[in-house]
Amino acid sequence: MKKEKTYHLAIDLGATSGRTILAAFDGTKVEMEELTRFSHPMLPVGGLLFWNFSELYHQVLLGLRAAAEKVAEYGAGLASVGIDSWGCDVAYFRSDGTLSGLPLCYRNSSTDGAVARFAEKMPLDEVYSRTGIQFMDFNTLFQLDTVRRNNPAILDSADKILFIPDALAYMLTGNAVTEFTVASTSQMLNQATGDFDEELLALIGLDRDKFGPMVQPGTVIGTLSAQAREFTGLGAIPVVAVAGHDTASAVVGIPVEGDDYAYLSCGTWSLLGIESPTPIVNAKSREYNFTNEGGIDGTTRFLKNICGLWLLEGCRREWGSKAPGIADLAAASLESTCDSIIDPDDASFAHPDSMTAAICAFCERTSQPVPVSYGDFVRVIYRSLARRYKAVVDMLAEMSGKDISRLHVIGGGSQSAPLMQFAADELGIPVIAGPAESTVMGNVLLQLRACGEADSLADMRKISIASNETKTYKSE
């Protein structure tokens, strides 16, 4: 007897844009249908950058309403909803459950130098030995330390401090939790205990009660509140804590068997890593600034953040409507002969006034040809990213002892054939591209687990394999 389809809503939030996607599961594979897409740009106020969180929540509610209307067309109901987002940023709530101001954005220049400032409180080697997390100025620990220095009333007045997906789930259900994978990006979790490090919290004047209880991916947080039900037209739908960090959900969604691979989540950021049964925290991982972020079922995402297609996005914003579309830009990169290589992780590319000027300045400083045409810039970015991927894969193999025989690329960047081919040429191993929607796939798979439709990680990946097509690139 054929299984009746179940429907699940994935709310996938990237920095500055978001989507709601309805997934139908027939017992074997998942089919996806985008319902809404929206932007939520950073708001510049008083010299700082904030997220318009009220509008973001409104868009989530509109997505839920659209899901209610769509499943009604199918003569079905909605089985669950899950939210994933970027990491590190947090929202503050008063004791009555209302927002205490707008959440700060991780792109704020106010945290520049925050790591060095925190080192005055605790040696960085000790911070790394406790957390196993790479040092970046915008990690939550350093964001909160900066807030403590500049505006401590924000922290003192907050009843709850919640990561972005947890904050939205709180607004939907009234239940405050801390989902493990997104919390693991904060540099505030103790990698030995899997919970917040009390001494690190004390150094920024916070206690554990400011945060919700820790939950693992696949946990039902609660059901839609009466207010949310009234607005959306839905019933008491379960809200699931999926892998709240979008990269963690993306890794769950990789259509792969075996373990002889590295993965690359390729978007605004490039996150390149492996799944490890245990954290890898030693002098070498500290030297290379690798991170140990939470995965599911006790795994660790041992990875490195690389500045990814942020470079190209910055150029495209400058070029505006006069520039060719992304497909034409990719084609132009193959016509260019500009072979300059930049360091994608150079500090000059973090938030420049002009990305093209920053790229040209780097080439001038390193005595390389300066890109001129659109194709030149795109080729320099793609080849530089591919070169960086090679270096990071070599580091992963060195530190883990793992035989890495293929690279699985997921996320929007997997659709760029020139970038994938450059990566295959640099790495000398097969590059398997797709799916672009791995984050949503992982989000849905963890909802299926919460609903009793899937069990182990291997089971979930079998569903992903059945649901997705990939393309393999080999070195030429």
Active-site residues, by number, are 246
DSSP 47: T
On whether the CB atoms of residues 5 and 26 are closer than 8 A, the answer is yes
Q: Exposed (0-12), middle (13-18) or buried (19+): which is 304, by Cβ within 10 Å? A: buried
Query: What's the burial of 346, exposed, middle or buried (CB within 10 Å: 0-12/13-18/19+)?
Result: middle
Determine the Cα–Cα distance for residues 157 and 456; give it in Å rounded to an integer. Answer: 41
Contacts of 227 (CB under 8 A, 6+ apart): none
Those residues with Cβ within 8 angstroms of residue 51's Cβ, 6 or more apart along the chain or in another chain:
40, 42, 43, 89, 102, 103, 104, 105, 164
Alpha helices in 321-437 (DSSP H): 326-335, 355-365, 374-400, 417-427
Neighbours of 311 (CB within 10 A): 26
Helical segments of 121-163, H only: 124-131, 140-150, 153-157
User: Apex CA 240: angle with CA 237 and CA 242, to 5°?
Assistant: 150
Q: How far is CA 318 from CA 172, 322, 354, 402, in A?
A: 38, 10, 7, 41
* C-beta separation of 348 from 303 below 8 A: no
- How far is residue 154's CA from residue 265's CA, in Å, rounded to a whole number? 34
* Contacts of 439 by beta carbon, 8 Å cutoff, 6+ apart: 12, 84, 246, 247, 249, 250, 253, 265, 410, 411
Which residues make Cβ contacts (< 8 Å) with residue 253, sequence separation at least 6?
A: 410, 435, 437, 438, 439, 440, 441, 442, 443, 444, 445, 464
Q: What are phi and psi of 472, to 5 degrees?
A: -100, 130
Cα–Cα distance for residue pair 4/6, rounded to 1 Å: 7
CA gap 59, 90 in Å, rounded:
18
Q: How many CB atoms lie within 10 A of CB 423?
A: 29
**What does the alpha-carbon distance between residue 412 and residue 430 come to, in Å, rounded to a whole number?**
19
Report the C-alpha gap between 104 and 120 in whole angstroms.
Answer: 24
Distances (CA, A) of 131 to 170, 249, 345, 351: 26, 21, 22, 26
User: Residue holding tokens 């919640």?
Assistant: 162
